[in-house]
């Protein structure tokens, strides 16, 4: 069943399934007078298009709310990605940011509308996940691949740099479930991943264990 893409619905959903106390903010309208640091203004002005600049500002709006919840400095330009304590994703006019006090890795990924082409499946799925996806009815494959894509991207963002492996080495332990564990082959990295279905996409949250 899908949930609404709103701060209250996301907070209620992830608050119920996460054992860690996370901060979450959703933004679909950047405040016109949002204070920006010099670094943020510079980064915004350097964006390649007006669309990307709008997306960047929407992201700052969500990220700053999370940083305030964490009691951290509001300057998002000072954050080095991947960050152990916060993460941001934007898609089609929506931004979602998450934060974790004392975190050791957190990732969020929001994908609306755009479904990955089936050709990427062999590049990003492995083992039980690939077998599960292969066995799905054709009508369910596009949505499942979009879900797995958000799982992989959320894990990528929650994983410390340098990235140890390609997506095809990300192993989902229960691909049919919306909440489960992911490990990365050849490493000790393990993540708890929670996914919510939205009306036209998915949002996944990964917490490094």
Taking CB under 6 A as the criterion, the residue among 66, 67, 89, 196 binding ligand COA is 89
Q: What is the dihedral of CA 76, 79, 82, 87, to 10 degrees?
A: -30
82 binds ligand COA (CB under 6 A): yes
Shortest distance, CB of residue 169 to ligand COA, whole angstroms?
Answer: 9
Which residues contact residue 78 at a Cβ distance below 8 angstroms, ignoring those fewer than 6 apart? 37, 39
132 binds ligand COA (CB under 6 A): no
40 binds ligand COA (CB under 6 A): no
Taking CB under 6 A as the criterion, the residue among 13, 26, 64, 90 binding ligand COA is 90
Shortest distance, CB of residue 101 to ligand COA, whole angstroms?
Answer: 18
Taking CB under 6 A as the criterion, the residue among 16, 21, 81, 138 binding ligand COA is 81
Please state the separation of Cα 196 from the chain's center in Å: 11
Pairwise CA distance, residues 205 & 26, whole Å: 13
Q: Is 164 left (phi over 0), alpha (psi -120 to 50) or beta?
A: alpha
Token code pair at residue 139:
């009508």
Q: Which residue has the tokens 């797995």?
A: 148
Mind giving me the DSSP string for 146-170?
Answer: HHHHHHHHHHHHHSPSSP-S-GGGE
Q: Which residue has the tokens 């089609």?
A: 92
Pairwise CA distance, residues 27 & 92, whole Å: 11
Taking CB under 6 A as the criterion, the residue among 100, 124, 184, 205 binding ligand COA is 124
153 binds ligand COA (CB under 6 A): yes
Taking CB under 6 A as the criterion, the residue among 23, 85, 148, 167 binding ligand COA is 167
Task: Select the span of 6-14, 33-41, 152-160, 201-209 touching ligand COA (CB under 6 A).
Answer: 152-160
Q: Which residues bind ligand COA (CB under 6 A)?
A: 56, 59, 81-82, 87-90, 109, 123-124, 153, 156-157, 166-167
């Amino acid at each position: 069943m899908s949930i609404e893409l709103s701060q209250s619905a996301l907070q209620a959903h992830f608050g119920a399934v996460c054992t860690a106390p996370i901060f979450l903010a959703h933004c679909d309208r950047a405040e016109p007078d949002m204070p920006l640091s010099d670094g943020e203004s510079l980064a915004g002005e350097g964006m390649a298009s007006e669309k990307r600049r709008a997306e960047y500002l929407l992201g700052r709006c969500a990220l700053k709310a999370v940083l305030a919840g964490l009691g951290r400095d509001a300057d998002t330009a000072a954050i080095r990605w991947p960050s152990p304590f916060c993460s941001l994703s934007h898609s089609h006019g929506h931004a979602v940011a998450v934060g974790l006090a004392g975190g050791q890795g957190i990732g969020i990924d929001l994908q609306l509308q755009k479904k990955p082409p089936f050709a990427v499946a062999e590049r990003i799925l492995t083992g039980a996940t690939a077998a599960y996806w292969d066995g799905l009815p054709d009508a369910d494959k596009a949505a499942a691949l979009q879900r797995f894509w958000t799982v992989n991207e959320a894990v990528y963002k929650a994983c410390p740099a340098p990235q140890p492996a390609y997506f095809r080495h990300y192993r989902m332990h229960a691909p049919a479930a919306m909440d489960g564990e992911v490990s990365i082959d050849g490493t000790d990295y393990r993540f708890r991943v929670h996914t919510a279905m939205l009306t036209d996409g998915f949002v996944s949250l990964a917490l490094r264990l």
